[in-house]
Amino acid sequence: MLVSAPASGQGKTSVTAALARWHTRQGRRVAVFKAGADFLDPLVTGRAAGVTAYQLDLWMGGEADVRARLFAAAARADLILVEGMAGLFDGAPSSADLALACRLPVLAVIDGSAMAETFGAVVSGLAHHREGVRLYGVAANRIGGDHHARLLRGSLPADVRWLGALPRDPALALPERHLGLVAAGELRDLEVRLDALAAAWEPGADTALPPAVAFAAAAPAPVPAVLRGRRIAVARDAAFCFLYPANLDLLRDAGARLAFFSPLAGDALPGCDAVWLPGGYPELHLDVLSRRGDLFAALRAHRDAGKPILAECGGMLCLLDRLAGADGHSAPMAALLRGCAVVGERLAALGLQQVALPEGTLRGHTFHHARAGVAAVPVARATNPNGAPSREAVYRDRRLTASFVHFYFPSNPDAAVRLFLP
């Protein structure tokens, strides 16, 4: 079932998490996915189901990648939940495109806090806006009580099921900041919140599973085993947390051994053949990172030895001379890439990205609040398939590759693994 909505902010993640935790409590095996490029929502919904939540994107990964992941999930799960992105028909490709391509029934999550009969009109519009998209059911979010729920339920068209509701309760809200939800690993009470969501969902929940969907046999694209015997150091903590699980799987499938380390915890750079500095929130940890001169020196020696480094978004910001946060506080960074950046409160770039690199063409996305001045000539510049203005530069110094782009490695496995070769 695809969990979507008429707009962002309606409560898709909360309802997906409530469904995942509630069905898991009933003894069902639940697989969870996220439509689109988002890193943060799947960390929450995956925790709710006790599984790793993967991304599904018809453009970044391609339809074959999507079908292979759904086919594999169907072999092990009783219920597959796919949280949509933005509004049901927003974007290209949209959540509706995914529902059509894979014949997924749709659950619409609607904030009913300020509605009664109009709730049914919104549902009717979603149900009939695009031929072939099947609106199976609806869930109301932020309802005022049992009477309010009855009013909303009574407004529905006869062919749309009422699947449940969540009350208007600040205790059920998932904390947010710039770029989306607070990362799951930073929420010490996340399990309590997820249990509360499931408990709030239970009283009015439809206990039936959505209709079964059959997926044709599909296999992921082959991954060249050219990283066998090579060790890749991967930064992973609250400052470097934007990691697609599919990217990690692909590196392992290519034969790499992954060595995770935490710059914030004071970990030294592990002995390695390549380094990956993913995106995250370095701007929230400026003082801690600025004291990591030992790590910065190790990264510089690694770069100077001609060994690969991939630095994405926050990882790239950490390699600049200086980085400032929205509060104006700044601190020196690694100085492997000449330039400075400021992370502000307003969105600076958003959109799908495709980059033709010497290793091959990779797809991904950009989403950040940073404005950077980099004193280097780009080796490549991304294009945007939707004609949006965000077209990120990619910088190269020996085997260091740095950009605001978050690459989705399965978009071109051969090109992705070559980023980690000398």
Domain annotation for the chain: domains and CATH numbers: 2-204 (3.40.50.300), 231-418 (3.40.50.880)
Q: Report how far residue 223's alpha carbon sits from residue 208's, in angstroms, rounded to the nearest whole number.
A: 39
pLDDT band at 188 (very low <50, low <70, confident <90, very high): confident
pLDDT of residue 177 exceeding 80, the answer is no
Mean pLDDT on 294-322: 98
Instruction: Read off the tokens for 396.
Output: 């190269």
**Mean pLDDT of all residues belonging to the chain:** 96
Mean pLDDT on 383-396: 95
pLDDT of residue 4 exceeding 90, the answer is yes
Given 272, 313, 318, 340, the catalytic residue: 313
Q: Are 379 and 397 in contact (CB under 8 A)?
A: no
Q: What is the pLDDT of residue 340?
A: 98
Q: Report how far residue 128's alpha carbon sits from residue 156's, in angstroms, rounded to the nearest whole number.
A: 13
Q: What is the pLDDT of residue 61?
A: 96
Share of residues in the chain with pLDDT > 70 (%): 100
Q: Are 249 and 72 in contact (CB under 8 A)?
A: no
Peptide bond into 93 cis (omega under 30): yes
pLDDT band at 207 (very low <50, low <70, confident <90, very high): confident
pLDDT of residue 161 exceeding 90, the answer is yes
Crossing angle of helices 40-49 and 190-201, in 10° steps, is 70
pLDDT of residue 186 exceeding 90, the answer is no
Q: What is the pLDDT of residue 174?
A: 87
Distances (CA, A) of 62 to 67, 72, 216, 363: 9, 16, 16, 10
Question: Is 313 tagged catalytic?
Answer: yes
Q: What is the pLDDT of residue 204?
A: 86
Q: Report how far residue 30's alpha carbon sits from residue 76's, in angstroms, rounded to the nearest whole number.
A: 9
Mean pLDDT on 62-69: 97
pLDDT of residue 308 exceeding 90, the answer is yes
pTM for the predicted model, two decimal places: 0.96
Q: What is the pLDDT of residue 87?
A: 98
Q: Are 74 and 41 in contact (CB under 8 A)?
A: no
